[in-house]
């Protein structure tokens, strides 16, 4: 009996090992624990840049741009802002010649919020082709502030509403242009003052006192004073810092004595790292912060200095156990990073005002030169300029012309501002050979404009689950194996609760936060423990809402991580969960390809 049981187990294991997928004609066996992704070197999405729709509601356009990159020869980066503006029907085609229509109503995103994959392809084709993202004002920047894209769309829309009200009155339009020129001149003057302050700050001596304060403070905050080592360490720091500092469980007050600062500066000089530190501070901030080798060198110096001050804890205490000579040991990398960040923060305090624009905008508002400009108009101008400053665009005569040049259609005006270069037909990528197909899990013919898509789906009702799963498998295998990504419309409740069942988004989901319908990109598949999983590319930035902490982990999702262990905008999802949450899957095929 035991032999028979053992034989049955072997059969089950062998069946469990591989996954089966179909290309529509033949079934293919996928070895367990293997994966295929378009992000692999040499594949169509290997150079894809992380996208963040950032409040604009452009998931359909983000997906369209990613799929286009995988289909167009040469895999160019395609602008999702251009795709969203072209496909939108709210305001894009309206005629503004009478100057009465208004764009901004709610949060400023209604122009781009919501859309469909194949409709977007049809709109881009009608516009003359896809626009490379290099022509977009927004898509080539590292946007530190969230919602900058939405802020810019809203503020420019509000400002352009004012332009459109006076566009048929040459005198008023000229006055608006003159006022804008004054505002930009004053902004540039204030920005110049800030830059001068930054340069002066860079020339100051190294702020060792501030950096030591931050570093020691961080060490003390992390201390557990209930532990013997923690208590001993606090006592030693108290001796180093002197009576003016307070170190208790509920309060930490640090006062760095001048003697300690001088002692550390001498320690730095003797370590031959201070000149190197000074040189690094003159370089690009990101380059400095990302230079882990230098941080470790500096961290080692800081750690050695603190260890030299934290003497042997005594005959019966070694903190932590195993420390050489009984000295308290600290992590040099952590200390170096915090110390270094403290120096940079101290030296960039004034410059932070430039990145945030707050001081500059307030200075312009209070400037005497603008007392003749109506307050409402000044606010509209500054609101429009502030996000442009955040993304680092020049405030010059060219910008003045763009912001005071009313076009016949509002959409054209906005596109001319946000997408310089996309209005030129010679810059666009021809898509005439592309065919778009939409495959729905349930009958959606009453909702879909069949003129823009090849629609496939059941005639009434929905597919059964097995048929839907087979459709997804077939489409994924056929496209991914041909180096093409796919678009997928999903109900995202599964991202918060993997046990939710939506029956292809037909079952209302109660009590689950997040989007109801969302578009993402399928970029790969794998076989894991005998089960198929799909790789999804999201458009919520690098961190994409994917749960990584133990308390938040989702049984249906595995976050994709980069070499540094950070999320990279993608995740793997279990097949059955995704198929149940799938409303529609879309594909692009190049009819000119062999």
Confidence of residue 4 (pLDDT cuts 50, 70, 90): very low
Task: Indicate if 485 and 584 belong to the same structural domain.
Answer: yes
Task: Indicate if 462 and 540 belong to the same structural domain.
Answer: yes
Residues with Cβ < 8 Å from 198, sequence gap 6 or more?
Answer: 348, 350, 351, 354
Q: Using an 8 Å Cβ cutoff, are 254 and 213 in contact? A: yes
Burial of 219 (0-12, 13-18, 19+ CB in 10 A): buried
Residue 349 has pLDDT above 70, yes or no: no
Q: Which of 109-113, 463-467, 510-514, 515-519 has the lowest mean pLDDT?
A: 510-514
Tokens representing residue 136 in the block = 């977009």
Most trustworthy range by pLDDT among 44-48, 444-448, 508-512: 44-48
Task: Indicate if 192 and 227 belong to the same structural domain.
Answer: no
Tell me if 86 is assigned to some domain. Answer: no
Most trustworthy range by pLDDT among 177-191, 296-310, 399-413: 177-191
Tell me if 141 is assigned to some domain. Answer: no
Task: Indicate if 436 and 573 belong to the same structural domain.
Answer: yes
Q: Among the three residues 391, 418, 445, which one is the final residue of a domain in this structure?
A: 418
Task: Indicate if 547 and 447 belong to the same structural domain.
Answer: yes
* Cα–Cα distances in angstroms (integers) from residue 573 to residues 384, 557, 570, in the given order: 40, 5, 10
pLDDT at residue 321 in the model: 67
Q: Using an 8 Å Cβ cutoff, are 500 and 512 in contact? A: yes
- Neighbouring C-beta atoms of residue 176, cutoff 10 Å: 22
Task: Indicate if 448 and 515 belong to the same structural domain.
Answer: yes
- Neighbouring C-beta atoms of residue 62, cutoff 10 Å: 25
Task: Indicate if 585 and 437 belong to the same structural domain.
Answer: yes
Q: Among the three residues 292, 327, 350, which one is the final residue of a domain in this structure?
A: 350
Q: Using an 8 Å Cβ cutoff, are 527 and 33 in contact? A: yes
Instruction: State the Cα–Cα distance between residues 288 and 283, nearest whole angstrom.
Output: 7
Tell me if 106 is assigned to some domain. Answer: no
Confidence of residue 586 (pLDDT cuts 50, 70, 90): very high
Tell me if 98 is assigned to some domain. Answer: no
pLDDT in tens, 151-167: 888 888 888 888 888 88
Domain residue limits at 524: 19-45+432-590
pLDDT in tens, 246-263: 888 778 888 888 888 888
- State the chain's maximal CA–CA distance in angstroms: 100
Q: Count the alpha carbons within 13 Å of 196 in the hemisphere toward its beta carbon.
A: 6
Task: Indicate if 386 and 451 belong to the same structural domain.
Answer: no
Domain total for the chain? 3
Residue 458 has pLDDT above 80, yes or no: yes
Tokens representing residue 422 in the block = 């996309």
Cα–Cα nearest to 163, from 180, 186, 148, 187: 180
What b/e sequence results for 388-404 when a residue is b if at least 16 CB atoms lie within 10 Å of its CB, and e otherwise? bbbbebebeeebbeebb
pLDDT in tens, 27-64: 888 999 999 999 999 999 999 999 988 878 899 999 99
Return left, alpha or beta for 312; rule: phi > 0 is left, psi -120 to 50 is alpha, else beta: beta
Q: Among the three residues 295, 325, 350, which one is the final residue of a domain in this structure?
A: 350
Cα–Cα nearest to 236, from 304, 308, 300: 308
Task: Indicate if 194 and 264 belong to the same structural domain.
Answer: no
């Amino acid at each position: 009996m035991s032999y028979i049981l053992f034989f049955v187990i072997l059969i089950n294991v062998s069946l469990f090992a591989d996954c089966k997928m179909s290309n529509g004609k033949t079934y293919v066996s996928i070895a367990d624990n293997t994966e295929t992704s378009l992000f692999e070197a040499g594949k169509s999405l290997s150079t894809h840049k992380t996208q963040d729709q950032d409040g604009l509601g452009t998931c359909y356009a983000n997906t369209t741009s990613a799929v286009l990159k995988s289909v167009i020869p040469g895999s160019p980066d395609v602008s999702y802002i251009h795709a969203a503006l072209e496909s939108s029907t709210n305001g894009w085609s309206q005629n503004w010649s009478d100057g009465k229509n208004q764009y901004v109503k709610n949060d400023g995103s209604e122009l781009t919020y919501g859309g469909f994959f194949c409709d977007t392809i049809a709109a881009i084709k009608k516009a003359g082709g896809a626009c490379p993202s290099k022509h977009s004002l927004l898509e080539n920047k590292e946007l530190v502030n969230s919602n900058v894209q939405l802020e810019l769309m809203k503020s420019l829309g509000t400002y352009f509403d004012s332009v459109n009200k006076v566009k048929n009155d040459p005198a008023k339009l000229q006055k608006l242009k003159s006022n804008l020129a004054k505002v930009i001149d004053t902004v540039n003057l204030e920005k110049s003052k800030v830059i001068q302050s930054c340069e002066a700050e860079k020339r100051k001596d190294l702020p060792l006192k501030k950096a030591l304060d931050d570093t020691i403070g961080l060490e003390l905050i992390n201390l557990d004073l209930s532990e013997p080592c923690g208590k001993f360490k606090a006592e030693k720091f108290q001796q180093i810092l002197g009576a003016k500092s307070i170190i208790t469980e509920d309060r930490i007050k640090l006062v760095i004595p001048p003697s300690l600062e001088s002692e550390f500066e001498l320690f730095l000089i003797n370590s031959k790292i201070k000149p190197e530190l000074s040189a690094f501070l003159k370089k690009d901030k990101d380059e400095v912060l990302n230079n882990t080798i230098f941080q470790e060198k500096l961290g080692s110096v800081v750690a050695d200095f603190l260890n030299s001050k934290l003497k042997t804890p005594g005959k019966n205490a070694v903190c932590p156990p195993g420390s050489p000579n009984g000295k308290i040991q600290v992590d040099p990398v952590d200390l170096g990073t915090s110390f270094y960040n403290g120096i940079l923060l101290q030296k960039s305090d004034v410059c932070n005002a430039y990145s945030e624009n707050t001081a500059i905008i307030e200075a312009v508002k209070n400037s005497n030169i603008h007392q003749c400009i109506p307050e409402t108009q000044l606010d509209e101008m500054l609101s429009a300029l502030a996000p442009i400053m955040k993304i680092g665009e020049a405030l010059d005569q060219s910008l003045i012309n763009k912001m005071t040049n009313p076009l016949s259609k509002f959409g054209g005006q906005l596109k001319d501002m946000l997408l310089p270069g996309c209005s030129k037909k010679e810059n666009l990528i021809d898509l005439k050979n592309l065919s778009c197909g939409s495959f729905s899990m349930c009958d959606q013919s009453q909702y879909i404009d069949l003129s823009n898509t090849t629609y496939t789906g059941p005639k009434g009702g929905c597919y059964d689950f097995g048929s839907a799963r087979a459709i997804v498998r077939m489409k994924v295998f056929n496209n991914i194996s041909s180096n093409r990504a796919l678009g997928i419309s999903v109900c995202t409740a599964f991202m918060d609760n993997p046990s939710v069942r939506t029956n292809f988004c037909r079952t209302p989901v109660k009590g689950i936060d997040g989007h109801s319908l969302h578009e993402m990109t399928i970029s790969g598949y794998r076989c894991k423990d005998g089960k198929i999983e799909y790789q999804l590319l999201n458009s919520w930035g690098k961190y994409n809402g994917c749960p990584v902490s133990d308390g938040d982990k989702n049984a249906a999702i595995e976050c994709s991580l980069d070499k540094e262990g950070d999320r990279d905008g993608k995740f793997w999802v279990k097949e059955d969960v995704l198929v149940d949450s799938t409303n529609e899957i879309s594909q692009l095929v190049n009819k000119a390809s062999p």
